[in-house]
Amino acid sequence: MKKKGILLFSGGLDSLIAAQVLIEQGITVKAYNFLLPYEKPDYNPYSSAIAKSAHGLDMELNFVQCGDDYIKMLLDPPHGYGKNINPCIDCKILFLRKAKEIMINEDAAFIATGEVNGQRPMSQRKDMIIHIEKSAGLERMILRPLSARFFKPTLAEEAGIVNRDALLDINGRGRKIQMEMAKKYGFTDYATPAGGCLLTEPHYSARAKELFATNKSITSRDLYLLRLGRHFRIEGVKIVVARNADETNNLINLRNNNDTLFSTQFQGPSMLSPGNSKLSDSVKKTAAAIAARYGKPGKEDKEREVIVYERDGQETIIAGSIADEQINCFKL
Ligand code: SF4
């Protein structure tokens, strides 16, 4: 085995310190960040804040896009959800299983994480850390440079690949030691702990729960769409209403043949009904009225036109009016 480790890298301070501690030992560190499947299809992680945080560290940073395997787990996580729709325990197990494959392919000696013993009430409790390690099939192969002294020596330490004496013994929720180390190493650009995971956000989670309850064949595009616009469900049909020009462009670019796109001929929002290529007249009528509510239609028919693009053609309908109370019945 080479003097080489695979680091699960979040861009947060703990993962920066984990990297630095290993690099100082002369270990080759290959960092990996796993992207959750709700990113924009053309998202470029190499220009993200995570990539920026790794600048200056002598290591290679790679991004791995999670896809259908992650979504399958997200729909029914064996260990359940956290406060929102975050399946943290199963998410970590999945990341570690992927990292294990990478470790084998790279002929690396271990996997490292920035975990700190006792930092989080659930997923970073020692018994849970050990459970996650076992579930991923990585017993004694996960090195936690910040809290190594709280765990049995890993195989890499026993083999002399990693010097245990140079590892740390940070414990608990306090950040004092990490802040001192950040100062020492000159780390200024790093993400906040657990920051950025949409699955922990209440608003996103509420939309996701509603989607999971109504549709079992979810795609990464569906998860990205949850980030955009206003959402309505009319007679069981999802309608996403753009809030600005950017979202309008996104909806247009995301549209495929199985979707219905609504394009207002007055100053108003575009709308997308994902996965529905043939809508009933009453759904179209209500959707057009919602577009008029959020737009600025005129009084004449031609100033209230909405073009509905379906798989088999298009039609023009005239947007009527709808009361806010009625809109609220459809709003998600
Ligand atoms: S916060 Fe998000 S990315 Fe982090 S473990 Fe939980 S679900 Fe996974």
Model confidence pLDDT, tens digit, residues 156-206:
999 999 999 999 999 988 999 999 999 999 998 887 755 589 999 999 999
pTM score of the predicted model: 0.92
Find where tokens 């999945």 sit. Answer: 94
Nearest CA, atom 6, ligand 1: 88
pLDDT tens digits, 271-327: 999 998 889 999 999 999 999 999 999 999 999 999 999 998 999 999 999 999 999
CA distances from 258 to 71, 273, 279, 319, 329 (A): 21, 9, 11, 23, 26
- Confidence at residue 68, expressed as pLDDT on a 0 to 100 scale: 97
In this structure, the residues whose C-beta lies within 6 A of any atom of ligand 1 are 86-88, 91-92, 194, 197, 199-200
Please, where are the H alpha helices in the chain?
Answer: 13-23, 49-53, 68-75, 88-106, 126-135, 155-158, 176-185, 202-214, 220-225, 245-254, 281-294, 324-330
Structure tokens at 97: 């299983």
Amino acid at residue number 81: Y
Domain ranges of the chain: 4-185, 228-330
Question: Residue 123 — very low, low, confident or very high, per pLDDT cuts 50/70/90?
Answer: low
Atom of ligand 1 nearest to the CA of 36: 3
Atom of ligand 1 nearest to the CA of 87: 7
β-bridge pairing 260-264 and 230-234? unpaired
Distance between CA atoms of 36 and 220, rounded to whole angstroms? 9
- Confidence at residue 119, expressed as pLDDT on a 0 to 100 scale: 85
Walk across the sheet containing 142-143 and list its strands: 60-65, 28-35, 4-8, 110-112, 142-143
Calculate the dihedral angle through the C-alpha atoms of 191, 196, 202, 204, rounding to the nearest 10 degrees: 170
Counting residues of the chain whose pLDDT is more than 70, the rounded percentage is: 98
Q: State whether the Cα torsion 156-158-163-167 is positive or negative.
A: positive
Question: What is the maximum span of the chain, computed from C-alpha positions, in angstroms?
Answer: 81
Ligand 1 mean position to 246 CA, how many Å?
28
- Choosing from 9, 95, 119, 197 the residue with most ligand 1 atoms within 8 A of its CB, the one to mutate for a pocket test is 197
Among the listed residues 222, 208, 201, the one whose alpha carbon sits nearest the alpha carbon of residue 39: 222
Ligand 1 mean position to 315 CA, how many Å?
44
* Burial annotation 288-310 (CB, 10 A radius, 16+ → b, else e): bbbbbbbbebeeeeeebbbebbb
150: exposed, middle or buried (Cβ count in 10 Å: 0-12, 13-18, 19+):
middle
Nearest CA, atom 5, ligand 1: 88
Report the mean per-residue pLDDT for the chain. Answer: 95
Ligand 1 mean position to 255 CA, how many Å?
29
Question: Residue 122 — very low, low, confident or very high, per pLDDT cuts 50/70/90?
Answer: low
Distance between CA atoms of 176 and 183, rounded to whole angstroms? 11
Ligand 1 mean position to 270 CA, how many Å?
32
Ligand 1 mean position to 205 CA, how many Å?
13
> Long-range pairs for 317-324 at CB < 8 Å and ≥24 separation?
317/284, 317/285, 317/288, 318/288, 319/264, 319/288, 319/289, 319/291, 319/292, 320/285, 320/288, 320/289, 320/292, 321/289, 321/292, 321/293, 322/286, 322/289, 322/290, 322/292, 322/293, 324/293
- Choosing from 91, 97, 119, 198 the residue with most ligand 1 atoms within 8 A of its CB, the one to mutate for a pocket test is 91
Structure tokens at 237: 């049909």
Atom of ligand 1 nearest to the CA of 34: 3
- Confidence at residue 19, expressed as pLDDT on a 0 to 100 scale: 98
The strand pairing partners of 8, in sequence order, are 32
Architecture of the structural domain at 4-185? 3-Layer(aba) Sandwich (3.40)
pLDDT tens digits, 135-161: 999 999 999 999 999 999 999 999 999
